[in-house]
A and B are shown apart, each in its own frame.
Chain A
Amino acid sequence: MPEPLLQLEGVQTHIGPYHILHGVDFDVPAGSLTMLLGRNGAGKSTTLRTIMGLWQASSGRIRFDGRDITASATPDIARAGIAYVPEAMGIFTDLTVRENIVLAARSGPVDSARLDWMLGLFPALRRFWNLPAGNLSGGQKQMLAIARAIAEPRRLLLVDEPTKGLAPVMVRSMIEAFKALKAAGETILLVEQNFYAASVLGDGVVVMDDGRIVHSGPMSDLVTDQSLQQRLLGLSLDAHQ
């Protein structure tokens, strides 16, 4: 079992008067793709935002590569090597595709080899390179959001529902892109509602319900156990294929 790159221990998060996370514990092993699944409102997005420091954990501990980042500011967490793609994608629509990438590469210009690798994953971006990102379709914006996250080497990618609202052909492109990122050795924590995408991509899976972890283990266990799927997610893989 690879060493965990990210560890959450008893993380609780309050947003105003609402208690959203009730003691979340899980690990993300280095070099793996971990799926974070659950019904709407289970607390998946809140978990990612809490890891990024966009909402502060009220108790518990978040460790990244052995370092406690629970109380760190968001820019420090990003500088530690965590990239974040929010559910709303966070694209700067007034900026061109190129300018979005320029901003994401904090340490300087992206070298042409990395740029070509990145645009090889998301070829559509090449065509829109100098156009405002606001002109892109939903799927292309999602591609840009992920390209921005990998504009320079990062140690962990947090991606929130990258296939949400996309046409089937775009979902397939997105799955292929994540397969390529896995092959490149990226460590990824991926929130996903599309169980088929989760099943083909995930090495490990964490399932949340009502702000708690209700299951964690290898993805293969969940894929082969329909009764577990029904119990945890109220669905079966067959329905998604």
Chain B
Amino acid sequence: MTDMAEPSSVSELPITRTDWLPLALVPALALLALPFIGSPSSWVTLTVAGLAMGMMIFLMASGLTLVFGLMDIINFGHGVFISLGAYATLLVLGPLAAWGQADSVALNLTLLGLCIVAAMAVTGIVGAVFERVIVRPVYGSHLKQILVTMGGLIVAEQAIHAIWGASPIPIQLPETLRGAFVLGDIVMERFRVVAVGIGLLVFIAMQLVLNRTRLGLLIRAGVENPEMVEALGYRIRRLFVSVFVAGSALAGLGGVMWAFYRQTLTASMGMEVMVLVFIVIIIGGLGSVGGCFVGSILVALVANYVGFLAPKLALISNILVMALVLIWRPQGLFPVARR
């Protein structure tokens, strides 16, 4: 932790103002959508669904924004960790299929938890190898990073085909996570509510690590000035590897949630969502976890509202949001101080 004695007198000065404007965008957007949607129950349903989608996007994108922020690595291969995390659920769903069919919340949630642990372990280990073999030789060269990580993605996708076959694999949600909570006219899918919970937990955990631990301070400092971190006596290379592994494991966690949401596994499912992932990390401010969180929710809510109000515009809504945010704040919602 970062405990230290306080100096004997710290006089009060005006506290730095928190930048509330980007945070206010989410409730403002939701409230703005209400009169257009008309029905409050439809609005709640769309909003909860949007929040759940936002959390899943956040889970998939948070690792990438950390990796880009700290290591200055553009990892186009990030999508493969999402796919790999999704496929890793099969390692648990195969032998423990009965747990998924049991009408027990505890067993079902334990199964989901084990899927997450397996996915994070597999993607973390593969991430360590990926960093060593593919990423490390191209530190400092963005063009090479794009080419090499894209190549790594293709190889890894083919490896998934070789291991699990090329056909899509259907999976089922655990019994008690199927269906929806119905409150009057409001319908909230159970799995989406779980996804919101897990997304919030991960976000809070990341904020605690980044703001309350020495490791978090090092990551934040390393994002801004890695050379100075080394000059203070810390081995930034080890930090890079740790963050890459953590980023890959987070993508694996996102992959599990995405897999259960789609209920179908394909090797390209990670790649398919990467456009959305890049949009949210750009909107949020490259390297900013908080920005990634707000950006994910913003993009998902807009997609849901626009999909409901003007389905033909749904496809371009994300690009439109990104353009508007970048016109307002060219460095993203929460720009990170850069070297």
A interface residue numbers (CB < 8 A to B):
52, 54, 73-75, 78-79, 84, 86, 90, 92-95, 98-99, 101-106, 109-112, 115-116, 119, 126-132, 134-135, 148
Contacts and interface: CB of A to CB of B under 8 A. Distances in A.
Contacts of A129: 6-7, 10
Contacts of A110: 4-5
Given A127-B13, A129-B7, A129-B10, A90 B228 contact: yes
B217 interface: yes
Contact of A75 (B9, B221, B233): B233
A101 B5 CA distance: 11
A102 B337 contact: no
Contacts of A126: 7, 9-11
A128 B7 CA distance: 11
A78 B217 contact: no
Given A99-B2, A119-B7, A90 B225 contact: yes
B301 interface: no
Contacts of B2: 99, 102
A95 B7 CA distance: 17
B220 interface: yes
Interface of B: 2-11, 13, 15-16, 214, 217-218, 220-221, 223-225, 227-236, 336-337
A104 B232 contact: yes
Given A78-B233, A127-B13, 16 more contacts: A86-B231, A94-B221, A98-B4, A106-B232, A106-B234, A109-B3, A111-B5, A112-B5, A112-B7, A126-B11, A127-B10, A129-B7, A131-B15, A132-B16, A135-B16, A148-B232
Contacts of A94: 220-221, 223-224, 336-337
Contacts of B6: 129
B231 A109 contact: no
A41 B193 CA distance: 62
Given A95-B221, A109-B3, A110-B4, A54 B231 contact: yes
A115 B7 contact: yes
Contacts, number: 97
B98 to A, nearest CB: 49
Given A109-B5, A126-B9, A54 B217 contact: no
Nearest to A111: B5
A223 B68 CA distance: 51
A95 B217 contact: yes
Contact of B234 (A75, A90, A115, A130): A75
B10 A102 contact: no
A90 B217 CA distance: 15
Contacts of A132: 16
B7 A116 contact: yes
B337 A93 contact: yes
Nearest to B211: A99
Given A102-B217, A105-B4, A75 B235 contact: yes
B218 A103 contact: yes
Nearest to B228: A90
A182 to B, nearest CB: 23
Nearest to B14: A131
A127 B11 CA distance: 5
A84 to B, nearest CB: 5
Nearest to B2: A102
B116 to A, nearest CB: 30
A110 B2 CA distance: 11
25 contacts: A73-B235, A75-B234, A75-B236, A78-B231, A84-B231, A86-B228, A90-B231, A92-B220, A92-B221, A94-B221, A94-B223, A94-B224, A94-B337, A101-B4, A103-B214, A103-B217, A109-B4, A115-B5, A119-B7, A127-B10, A127-B13, A128-B13, A131-B15, A135-B16, A148-B232
Nearest to A148: B232
Listed residue (B225, B235, B336) with the most chain A CB atoms within 10 angstroms of its CB: B225
A216 to B, nearest CB: 26
Nearest to B222: A92
Nearest to B11: A127
B70 to A, nearest CB: 13
A203 B178 CA distance: 78
